[in-house]
Amino acid sequence: MIFPKYPGLIQREILDDMNNLDLLLLSLVSKNMKKLVSSSQNKRFRNIRSIEYEYDRTDGTCVVYLLDQSKPLKEYYKQESRTVDDIIMRIIEHTKAGKDSNQLNVSGKLIDFRLSDDYKYPVASYLEYDKESVFQSIHNHFLDVFGNSIEYNWEEPRWEDSKDFFIPFIPKLKNVSFCIGLYLDEQFSDVRNFENFFSLSPVAKLIQMKVHKKMKPLNPESKFYQAESIYIHTWKINGPDFVRHFRGRQICVDCDRYEKENVIDFVKRWKSGEAFQNLEYSSINPRGDNQFSPRLLIEIGAKFIDGNKQPPKFDVRQRFDWYDKDTTVYLPPSYAYVVRKTDNRVASVEVQYGTFFIGVWAETEEEFLKMVK
């Protein structure tokens, strides 16, 4: 290869003119080339917003996107805005890889790669028994080249289309935020299997779950409850109270039934500071004859703003939708609020169309009341 023979200044000028995909390909050539690419392009790589692993559990294919600041921020947050030009690698099962593969040493592991006219990006392949190790080596290479200051996200946008493949594949990767979708059904309806899966997995950024079978209550210390955000769809099934031990920021439950006493306990424990210290927003939406009435606000000990005044509008960036991460969730206009004893922070509360809402403000009660007009 003639490139290493050029003077350092010429090398840097050549690298500066390359796009991110070409730089990645060059970094795969050798350890020295990886170090050169990383060190010379460090400032440029800070413009990378995130690397997104988009995994399809039905066929084990993972498409890796690199999203930088060339994409407008509003578009960046929309999953549908990703194009083939954003792809830097595809990772597939070995049986689909074809015969024209070459082995490259990636973070100390030999991995089969293929380049063809069909794709402008490299295609890596794995054998099933070695799958996690291949993903780990590739991810470690990304960390070495692009650094650990950017976001790395793992998503399965079409998980609901893969009901027959209900066990998610969650590799142990450093500095990665995992968005997990799953059906609570079959094997997972056994609480031991469910607990074991989450105990062996990294703490999730987002969990979307559809409950199709009853399950015994989880361990209060389960890593499931440590997820930043949880959305649960449990119609026609009276499952365990998934809210009580939640320790993340946002949780929404669409359910067949949710006891009023559990909501009262939920708010009581938030008000005392005993639990839900990280809570930003929650909605609990029971169906049928179990819907909540506005009287619930009195039963949770809410305070009320003067009806002749205008309460402030609560909104927060939602964390449930990986198709558009920039949407905002709004609390229905609320004159009711509760106060946390430990720091005097306020949470707006409301019941609308049978659904209970709570949104936690950053302001204390005194600061909150100054926003009332």
CA distance 338 to 311: 14
CA distance 44 to 146: 9
CA distance 330 to 359: 9
Rounded mean pLDDT, 62-74: 81
Cα 350 to the center of its chain, rounded Å = 27
| 144-166 confidence digits (pLDDT tens) | 999 998 999 999 877 776 656 56
pLDDT score recorded for residue 252 = 94
- Of 235 and 305, the structure prediction assigns the larger pLDDT to 305
pLDDT score recorded for residue 362 = 95
Rounded mean pLDDT, 259-286: 95
Strands 109-116 and 87-93, how do they pair? unpaired
Mean pLDDT score across all residues of the chain: 87
Residue 259: beta bridge partners?
none
| 288-319 confidence digits (pLDDT tens) | 777 899 999 999 999 999 988 999 999 998 88
CA distance 254 to 267: 18
pLDDT score recorded for residue 194 = 84
- Read off the pLDDT band of 12 (50, 70, 90): confident
pLDDT score recorded for residue 5 = 65
Which own/partner pairs from 259-266 qualify as long-range (CB within 8 Å, at least 24 positions apart)?
A: 260/292, 260/296, 260/299, 263/292, 263/296, 263/300, 263/356, 264/296, 264/299, 264/300
- Read off the pLDDT band of 104 (50, 70, 90): very high
| 182-215 confidence digits (pLDDT tens) | 887 766 667 888 888 888 888 999 999 888 888 8
Query: Which burial class, exposed, middle or buried, applies to 138 when counting CB atoms under 10 A from its CB (0-12, 13-18, 19+)?
Result: buried
Helix (H, G, I), strand (E, B), or coil: what is residue 107? Answer: coil
Rounded mean pLDDT, 315-334: 81
Angle between helices 8-16 and 31-40 (to 10 degrees): 70
CA distance 226 to 235: 23
Kindly tell me if the per-residue pLDDT of 69 is higher than 90.
no
Let me know: does 64 contact 51? Beta carbons within 8 Å: yes
